[in-house]
Amino acid sequence: MLETVNLTKNFNGHAAVSQLNLSVKPGEVFALLGPNGAGKTTTINLLLGFLTPDGGEARVNGVSVAADSIAARRQLAYIPEQVMLYPRFSGVENLDYFSTLGGRRHTRQELLALLKRAGLQAEAADRRVSTYSKGMRQKVGISLALATEAKALLLDEPTSGLDPAASHEFSQLLRKLAGQGVAVLMATHDLFRASEDASRIGILLNGELVGDFATNDIKHVDLEKLYLKHLRA
Beta-strand pair 152-156/76-79: parallel
Does pLDDT of 15 surpass 80?
yes
Instruction: For residue 29, count CB atoms less than 10 angstroms from its CB and return exposed for 0-12, middle for 13-18, buried for 19 or more.
Output: buried
Q: What predicted TM-score, i.e. pTM, was given to this entire model?
A: 0.86
Q: Span 63-87, mean pLDDT? A: 90
Q: Span 40-65, mean pLDDT? A: 95
Q: Span 28-40, mean pLDDT? A: 91
Q: How confident is the model at residue 3 (pLDDT cuts 50, 70, 90)?
A: very high
Q: How far is CA 26 from the centre of its chain?
A: 14
What percent of the chain has pLDDT above 70? 98
How many C-beta atoms surround the C-beta of residue 73 within 10 A? 19
Q: Span 123-132, mean pLDDT? A: 95
Query: Could you give the domains of the chain?
Result: 2-75+151-232 (3.40.50.300), 85-149 (no CATH)
Q: Which residues pair with 8 in a beta bridge?
A: 55
Residue 125's pLDDT is what? Answer: 95
Residue 59's pLDDT is what? Answer: 96
Q: How confident is the model at residue 222 (pLDDT cuts 50, 70, 90)?
A: confident
Does pLDDT of 219 surpass 80?
no
Q: How confident is the model at residue 93 (pLDDT cuts 50, 70, 90)?
A: very high
Distance separating alpha carbons of residues 134 and 113, to the nearest angstrom: 20
29-38, 154-163, 193-202: least confident range: 154-163
